[in-house]
Structure 1
């Protein structure tokens, strides 16, 4: 399911994310921990290990669910939403459009 679908509220005013948490049998904090580990852990790894930043939107983030709880995230359509933050990188011409120089103090704004 897309991450954007977590925002869905049905005609009775019931939120999809609440229904998923209830169906999972997990406490809300445990469900959210799985969500953040699935979503943020890979993004933070790419950020700190490789200076990669993704500006993926909720409809481009696919949550892989097991027993109504997130287990991992798949990103799609990221070609134009990827940035290499290491401005000193000697990049091939084909990818220079995604390489940007960012002041070290501003890097965390890309998370």
Structure 2
């Protein structure tokens, strides 16, 4: 059995208004990952996911490419082997972007 891990990703580029959150969530759901994705006020997208390490690697590989209308300039990933288990599913957060 794969080790369950947690990933925090920040994606920059043309990633808002191009279906990036939907793309990220759809892929996560197909891979059986839990977590969330949301837009940030600075134009980036933030995502947190938990699941088997092999599935997380596939997920990151795909979000580094993004959907066809996006243009990913950078994808910063922090991985830990300490998932919290706080998520029951993978959600798209639909509220005003968080200021960081």
The one of the two structures with greater contact order (alpha-carbon pairs below 8 A, sep at least 6) is 2
Whose Rg is larger?
A: 1
Higher strand fraction (1 or 2): 2
Q: Tell me if TM exceeds 0.5.
A: no
TM-score, length-normalised on structure 2?
Answer: 0.31
Higher helix fraction (1 or 2): 1
TM-score, length-normalised on structure 1?
Answer: 0.29
